[in-house]
Chains A and B, each alone.
Chain A
């Protein structure tokens, strides 16, 4: 399975606590997804 196929269904939370499916990030346009080690 490719990285995008594995990542796509994973649900993350936005800053307001709402669920966001990662696959939705690149549905319409390319996304630069930066994984930070931690916030701050």
Chain B
């Protein structure tokens, strides 16, 4: 996703990351990844519920999760100790000014991430001009 940041900004949008640990955990995360994006946390998980994201044990222990984890390891990513709610699943929302939802992906299980290109493409909908009027 971090590779998509320039493309997201090119379309006039911004990336924000929302986690569920403490602000100190958010700081560590930001410093480790060297991310120049807005980093937020919602320990009460209200935002996750409002976005309709799942929270269950099946989503973090399924066999497919092991495949995702192996793929991530091959890519050089290792998960360190869990900093936040271990059963909460993630997702992605793209929201336009006015509150229109341009894109929504609710992870079915840990490691189920959408393709960054799909997310970037959804931003085109916000750039479309209003329908021309006859007359």
A35 in contact with B18 given A12-B40, A14-B39 (CB within 8 Å): yes
Q: Does B13 contact A (CB under 8 A)?
A: yes
A35 in contact with B97 given A3-B51, A10-B47, A40-B28 (CB within 8 Å): no
Q: Are A12 and B41 in contact (CB under 8 A)?
A: yes
Q: Which residues of A contact B99 (CB under 8 A)?
A: 2, 4-5, 8, 23, 26
Report the count of interface residues on B (CB-CB < 8 A).
63
B22 to chain A, nearest CB (A): 8
Q: Which of A4, A5, A15 has the most CB of B within 10 A?
A: A15
- Give how many A-B residue pairs fall within 8 Å (CB-CB): 162
Q: Are B50 and A33 in contact (CB under 8 A)?
A: no
- Contact pattern, B 20-42, Cβ under 8 Å of A = 1, otherwise 0: 11010111111010000011111
Q: Which residues of A contact B8 (CB under 8 A)?
A: 32
Q: Which residues of B contact A8 (CB under 8 A)?
A: 99
* Interface, chain B (partner A; CB < 8 A): 1, 8, 11-21, 23, 25-30, 32, 38-43, 46-48, 50-53, 60, 79-86, 88-97, 99-102, 104, 107, 110, 119, 123, 126
